[in-house]
A and B are shown apart, each in its own frame.
Chain A
């Protein structure tokens, strides 16, 4: 399995774990413990797990003398990044326009909506980038490991 594949798998697991735990924690706080929604959103603190994705350069570091990546790796990385950010753009437009449409031009929204947009955007970009990378390389090891 190549370095990019390992990173994609790692990011995919981290994002899904962060999202899954956040949803479960919110569900427990809201439905089981009966906390109000404004306090139960504290369960989304598990989103912080996504910070582990920043460790990938250290965790998947390669020997300096070996080839880090070739043209194919660069091409796949570029494609995955562009697909992820293009999808993010459409979601960004939707996230900005839906409140305007629902509330109307004279309405106001809580400012806490903005960090939620950032987290949503980050999840989308990481998730799609990982999925496209794995789709391009193949989901399993094909014996081409660098």
Chain B
């Protein structure tokens, strides 16, 4: 599987895999009340989702067949750039979400605590989408990615 195909899979499969358990956990908690297991499920999914970019490094470390190169310096550079782009987008989203909410509600207002996990899910979706798109843009839309 080429890096480009991985990026497409990450974009169309990875995002729902992360988002579905998070949203399910929020709705179950809203409907049936909060439990530690639900909280752990949601927090774990969200933390892992935001650090999913570490996967190629972990995979490379634990892979048995180290003679076959699947992640070279170019891939690493593209991956790092994509992660940085995602973090920049995440940071802008985070600041915008906090400041816009504060401006809309006013300094004396209050918000439902459920806004916080939903903000996280939004950040997670954005992060993974930007990472997938940045990888695809850098590898090129055609077949310039080099056959592996």
Contact = CB atoms under 8 A, between A and B. Distances in A.
Given A108-B112, A109-B110, A89 B102 contact: no
A114 B80 CA distance: 29
A78 B116 contact: no
Contacts of A59: none
Interface residues of B, number: 38
Nearest to A102: B113
Contacts of A114: 97-99, 101-102, 111
Interface stretch (A20-28, A49-57, A79-87): A79-87
Contacts of B94: 92, 117-118, 121
Interface stretch (A5-13, A93-101, A137-145): A93-101
B34 A105 contact: yes
Contacts, number: 104
SS of B interface (majority): helix
Contacts of B101: 111, 114
A96 B116 contact: yes
Interface of B: 29-30, 33-34, 39, 42-43, 46-47, 50-51, 80, 83-84, 87, 90-91, 94-95, 97-99, 101-102, 105-107, 109-114, 116-117, 119-120, 123
